[in-house]
Structure 1
Amino acid sequence: MKALVVYATITGNNEEIANIIVDALRAKNVEVVKSEMSQTDVSEFEDVDICVVCAYTYDEGALPEEGLDFYEELQTSDLKGKTFGVAGSGDVFYGDDFNKAVDEFEAAFKKTGATQGSSSVKIDLEPYEEDIETLQGFVSELIKTTSSKTV
């Protein structure tokens, strides 16, 4: 089983989230690559079983500027047969716009025909112990969903 974890970060929080996900995947013997969103082509998702995006929400609900092309390309991709998951860090200060990028990337993945492997994870600022446990559960669900499709 192979996974690609793509992240965008300003503060380092989303890279930390990506690292937690990568470590959890590797602990379950998944071959995984981590890549920064602006350096990644959406077509790289075609070569893996599990597709993960970790994105921050900028200002009042904006997607990461360096990830806009990636987001646009994702919406028109065909990822049928793939499992996806989305996680991200945001700031509850922004109220209704808290972690809006997570919702936007989830909706984009759904347009690709990929299967959502776990509920999306929204973290307030940096990940703490309870968030790490949530992310480990997120990974377990992604693997379980992917395994059930290949049986």
Structure 2
Amino acid sequence: MTTAMIVYASLTGNTEECTTIIEEALENLGVDVETVDCMQAEPEDFLDVDICLVGTYTYGNDANLPDEIVDFYEELAEIDLTGKVFGTYGSGDTFYDKFCQSVDDFTERFKEIGAIEGAESVKVDLDPGEEDIENLNSFAKKLVEKAADL
């Protein structure tokens, strides 16, 4: 059975809503999913699963990583995820110049440690609408297909 771990940070509930959509989509595809708030997660836990996911919001004008996920981001650099499939997603506000920058930051970090991008990142403006839900379901499907191809 394919396994996945979702680590997320959510302030307003928008990224958490995206997480729930992805979790359900993966489960419907037969994946054993563990979802963990970033404050409870350890990057090493990704070593035990086939698909590694991070969902986060982006904070403020400077597009900073949320405070609660900074340690996870920094510690992620210390492990080797060569050959693991990853996916990143999150919510933001298109009002800001650097829309969903934290999603891009995690994508780059995963690539630096050898993980394979299983699907293009999904960036949601505020809360997920109908099109976003379709994109998140497609994202989950692509991740599972990529993991199956390895």
> TM class by shorter-chain length?
over 0.9
Q: Which stretches in structure 2 are left out of the alignment for 5+ residues?
A: none
Matched residue, 1:99? 100
Matched residue, 1:86? 88
Q: Is the 8 A contact 1:85 1:116 kept in 2?
A: yes
Q: What's the TM-score once normalised by structure 1's chain length? A: 0.96
Q: Secondary structure at the match of 2:64?
A: coil
CA distance in 2, matches of 1:126, 1:77: 32
Q: Secondary structure at the match of 1:56?
A: coil
* 1:75 shift after superposition: 1.9
Q: Which stretches in structure 1 are left out of the alignment for 5+ residues?
A: none
Matched residue, 2:49? 48
Q: Of 62, 65, 70, which residue of structure 1 is paired with 2:64?
A: 62
Higher helix share: 1
Matched residue, 1:72? 74
- Match for 1:148: what amino acid? D
- Match for 1:103: what amino acid? D
Number of aligned pairs?
148
1:94-138 residue CA offsets vs partner (Å, 9 max, x unmatched): 02x110000000000001101000001111000011100000110
**Runs of 4 or more above 4 Å deviation:** none
1:80-106 residue CA offsets vs partner (Å, 9 max, x unmatched): 1210000000000102x1100000000
CA distance in 1, matches of 2:129, 2:90: 13
Q: Does 1:114 align with 2:115?
A: yes
RMSD (Å) for aligned C-alpha atoms? 0.6
Q: Secondary structure at the match of 1:94?
A: coil
Q: Secondary structure at the match of 2:96?
A: helix
Aligned-pair identity (%): 47
